[in-house]
Structure 1
Amino acid sequence: MRILITGAHGLLGQKLALIYGQETEHEILLTDLAPQTFFRNPRFDYHQLDITRLGDVKSLLSQYQPDLIINTAAVTDVDGCEEDRLNAWRLNVDGVKNLLIPARRIPGCRLVQLSSDYVFDGTKPPYDEQSRPHPVSYYGKSKLAAENALLASAVDGLIVRTQVLYGTGFEVRMNFVAWVLSQLERGQPFRVVTDQKGNPTMADDLAFAILKLVERNCRGVYHVSGPESIDRFSFARKIAVIFEFDPALIGPTTSREIGQFANRPPDSTFITLKVESECDYHLSDVEQGLVRLRQQYKEGSAHTDLLKDSRFQ
């Protein structure tokens, strides 16, 4: 099988590359915006790609003829999407459509599209795959539009909704756990919201779940997240305890008090029975995931020898 992964330098993209490199013998093409990659393993080919450029996407897909595309490329800064809606739509929606145009001409080509809990308004949790989306932010609207584009296309599609993604990777965008740890390391008091709740998801688990879904030829929409729902304040305090910091440094606040630019769903708790039953796979709960993450930090094992670069030593 030929697999093309977009956004390969992001947190999930790195985890997918590692999982597919370790668990399969598939041919793997990684793509991202950078002209060069830090992946230094002969298992991987790399190609610079901006999915908002239709001509480039057509050219690469025509040449490579992938059997599977996993699209992790996206603008995920929720406030940034609200402030720059044109850029958010170009990447999150038009980029997906650009992948679909040549993909439909490749026999048997499948597309895995990553989506978000932000397609829901968070007022009627918990949410399963049949729940009616109602996004309250432009980011959520763009992710829902991308879902609809895939579902309306002739391409065989799998939509994976996830949330509160965390993990460690090379030069990846700050995630919630990394932000909390950076604040704790400063040793100064800080505040975290109590009125946003969801399912923290370890990126390693999500990557493996995607592999399992693909292996089973799953189609349609799946909610893939950790099984435990928790508010951000309580999650931050668990992070402090697991990593042996003082949880008293973390104080409570609300979304209104900190003045977040974009609206967020107050409670986007997922029901994940579908992926658990069909794939016989359960993602880590909060404590399990954080303990694993701490061990990765200790051992320096967040990257394996599939990333051959002195910067990881």
Structure 2
Amino acid sequence: PDYIVNASAYTNVDKSETERELAWKVNVKGVEYLAEVARILDARIIHISTDYVFDGKDGPYAEDEKPNPLGYYARTKLASENALRISGVLHTILRTNVLYGADSNGKTGFVRWLINALKDGKDVRIVTDQVNNPTFVDDLVQAINKVIEYNKTGVYNIGGKEFLTRFQFSEIIADYFGLNKNLIKPITTEELNQAARRPLKSGLITLKAETELGYKPHSIEETLAIIKKELSL
């Protein structure tokens, strides 16, 4: 192959705090093995990373800003980026955040989960203090294709058009599908008492990808129309 796309990762942010050996093995050692394979095959690697490499104190972030990971998962993702940098293999790192889309591989994604809960009349607790620009999975695929088309290396941020809190994102979904958004209850990240710290004021500036790759993210409303069609809602 000419390219190896690494979308594999141990992504359980909280369990990574206790299952450190597994998280390191998948997220760092796995990338080192792929780099060795890429060297043998003379292939390039496109590696999917995360906004979690930043601490979320002063986002949104550009590609060249200094990382400061908060938790162990975040540290493994930064380590995976560094493993590629020292490998000598040609590579592209795509940092993304809050991926969402239609369900795949039998898993229920965030949008479908929220729709199902609200349809069932269940209260859902959504954080009000985490800011991102959620990334539609088809836009990430678009970015991967653009990297290959333009033969680009380096780091690119891939995210959505709109910066908003997870709570606001949920309200938009509820409104679009005509569901009761009063069932969406505000909560702070601190109140969730999770094992791993989360970056709060985050999000990724995508100007570099838009300029160099011709990356064009969908609006949230456009993505929900696509999801509605794909899920036959």
TM-score normalised by structure 1 residue count? 0.72
State the SS of the aligned residue for 1:271: coil
* Distance of aligned partners of 1:83 and 1:243 in 2 relative to their CA distance in 1, 3 Å threshold: farther
Please show how residues 210-229 of structure 1 align to structure 2 within 5 Å: 210-229=144-163
One-letter amino acid matched to 1:71? N
State the secondary structure of the residue aligned to 2:91.
Answer: strand
Offset, 1:244: 1.6
Q: Distance in 1 between matches of 2:39 and 2:205?
A: 31
Tell me the residue number matched to 1:5.
none
How far residue 173 of structure 1 moved from its aligned partner, in angstroms, is: 4.2
State whether residues 103 and 109 of structure 2, in contact with CA within 8 Å, keep that contact through their aligned partners in structure 1: no
After TM superposition, what 4+ stretches of structure 1 lie above 6 angstroms from structure 2?
none
Q: Percent identity?
A: 43
Aligned to 1:183, what secondary structure does the other structure show? helix
Amino acid at match of 2:230: Q
State the match for 1:75 in structure 2: 10
Higher relative contact order (CA 8 A, sep 6+): 2
Q: 1:243 aligns with which of 172, 177, 182?
A: 177
Q: Distance in 2 between matches of 1:181 and 1:257?
A: 24
Q: Distance in 2 between matches of 1:290 and 1:261?
A: 31
- For residues 124 and 156 of structure 1, what CA distance do their matches in structure 2 show? 31
Note the 1:126-165 alignment, pairs <5 A: 126-165=60-99
| Partner of residue 84, structure 1 | 19
Deviation at 1:126, TM superposition (A): 1.8
* CA drift at 1:146: 0.3
- Whole-Å separation in 2 of the counterparts to 1:172 and 1:150: 31
Kindly state the Cα deviation for residue 254 of structure 1 after the two structures are TM-superposed. Answer: 0.6
Q: Match of 1:124?
A: 58
**1:51-62 counterparts in 2 under 5 A?**
none
Q: CA RMSD in A?
A: 1.4
Q: Which amino acid is 2:13 matched to?
A: V
Q: d(CA) in 1 for partners of 2:45 and 2:160? A: 23
What are the ranges of 5 or more consecutive residues in structure 1 without an aligned counterpart?
1-65, 300-313
Deviation at 1:185, TM superposition (A): 2.6
Q: Could you tell me which of 268, 281, 296 is aligned with 2:230?
A: 296
8 Å CA contact 1:119, 1:135 repeated in 2 = yes
Structure-2 separation of matches of 1:132 and 1:91: 24
Tell me by how many angstroms 1:262 deviates.
0.9
Question: In the TM superposition, what is the alpha-carbon distance from 1:186 to its structure 2 partner?
Answer: 2.1
Shift of 1:295: 2.0
CA-to-aligned-CA distance 1:250-300 (integer Å, 9 cap, x gap) = 11111111212211000112110011011222111222212221122128x
Unaligned runs of 5+ in 2: none
Deviation at 1:190, TM superposition (A): 2.0
2:28 aligned residue: 93
Query: Are 2:6 and 2:48, in contact at CA under 8 Å, matched by a contact in 1?
Result: yes
Alignment of 1:2-81 (within 5 A): 66-81=1-16
- Superposition pairs for residues 129-278 of structure 1, below 5 Å? 129-278=63-212
Q: Distance in 1 between matches of 2:72 and 2:106?
A: 23
Per-residue CA deviations over 1:20-44 (Å, capped at 9, x if unaligned) read xxxxxxxxxxxxxxxxxxxxxxxxx
How far has the Cα of 1:169 moved from its partner? 3.4
Counterpart of 1:143, as a letter, is K
Q: What is the identity, as a one-letter code, of the residue corresponding to 1:220?
A: G
Amino acid in the other structure paired with 1:106: L
| CA apart distance, 1:172 | 4.7
Cα distance change on mapping 1:156 and 1:172 into 2, 3 Å: farther
Note closer, same or farther for the CA distance 1:289–1:140 as it changes in structure 2 (3 Å cut).
same
Q: Which amino acid aligns with 1:86?
A: E
Residues 52 and 74, structure 2, Cα contact 8 Å, conserved in 1: yes
Query: How far is the alpha carbon of 1:134 from its aligned partner?
Result: 0.4
